[in-house]
Amino acid sequence: MRVTYTQEQLDIQPQLAAANINPESFLATDYLNHFNEIVMLMEMVPDMPELLEDAVDWSPKTYSEHFAESGFQAKDLAIKAYGLAPAVFKLPFESVCGEMQSTIQATVKGLVTVNVIERGLSPAAQALIRGRIEMLQTLLMQLNQLIHGKSKKRCKPRCQKPNKKMFSHRKILINCLIEQFKYLLFALHNLPFVIQFSHFIYCGFFSYKMWVMP
């Protein structure tokens, strides 16, 4: 893609490559570290639910906030370059970042709501979470492409047409609800109805939020 740069952008371009900032997009891959850490934590949560406590501590940071607090050697240049980044890269970049942040926060919130640290997750729920992680990994790849100057018209999974993977997620959701209902029927013989009904509502609410919330 051919981009027309302003004189101000042309003046700063020679400094970017040496500072590990892409001279075409004016963006730096160091910002991906902000998302890589939380995605890695979420990948381990299905097997080690106690790691959710660390995931809860994660909070979104803007591009400028990340570099201002990082040890990146050319942090001031990175922030300045971001302010001058061509819109053809910057706008979709910010859009995908927003998608990632909302997806991460919704997923973590759903896990906290059902107290997975103590209750654990069923195999169907684990599969559902892994599907959400795949979505985040796809978004990370899109961010990496934009940073390296590869603009795309569609950078958000929501813009894509439904595919087999999306329908498999629906199947997982249904299986999760069925499994929790079976658990309710089985456990009615051992615990008071109120406790079991509450558990069923919690699990159903979790499954719903994990599907409908980005």
Q: How far apart are CA 163 and CA 183, in angstroms?
A: 31
Indicate whether 100 belongs to any domain: yes
Helix then strand then coil, in percent of the chain rounded to 5, is: 75, 0, 25
Indicate whether 17 belongs to any domain: yes
Single-letter amino acid, residue 7: Q
Domain of 11 in residue numbering reads as 7-212
Of 60 and 202, more confident:
60
Indicate whether 190 belongs to any domain: yes
Among 55-59, 63-67, 127-131, 195-199, the range scoring the smallest mean pLDDT is: 195-199
Indicate whether 2 belongs to any domain: no
**Confidence (pTM):** 0.70
Indicate whether 53 belongs to any domain: yes
Please tell me the predicted confidence (pLDDT) of residue 103.
Answer: 94
Q: How far apart are CA 46 and CA 197, in angstroms?
A: 24
Indicate whether 1 belongs to any domain: no
Please tell me the predicted confidence (pLDDT) of residue 126.
Answer: 81
Q: Which residue has the tokens 């999760």?
A: 176
Of 25 and 202, more confident:
25
Proportion of the chain above pLDDT 70, given as a percent: 69
Indicate whether 27 belongs to any domain: yes
Query: Measured between alpha carbons, how far is residue 110 from residues 46, 121, 151, 179 in Å?
Result: 13, 12, 33, 18
Per-residue pLDDT tens over the stretch 107-160: 998 888 878 878 887 787 788 788 999 999 999 999 999 999 986 544 444 434
Q: How many domains are there within the chain? A: 1
Please tell me the predicted confidence (pLDDT) of residue 174.
Answer: 54
Per-residue pLDDT tens over the stretch 22-62: 999 999 999 999 999 999 999 998 888 889 899 999 999 99
Residue 20 — left, alpha, or beta (φ > 0 → left; ψ -120 to 50 → alpha)? left
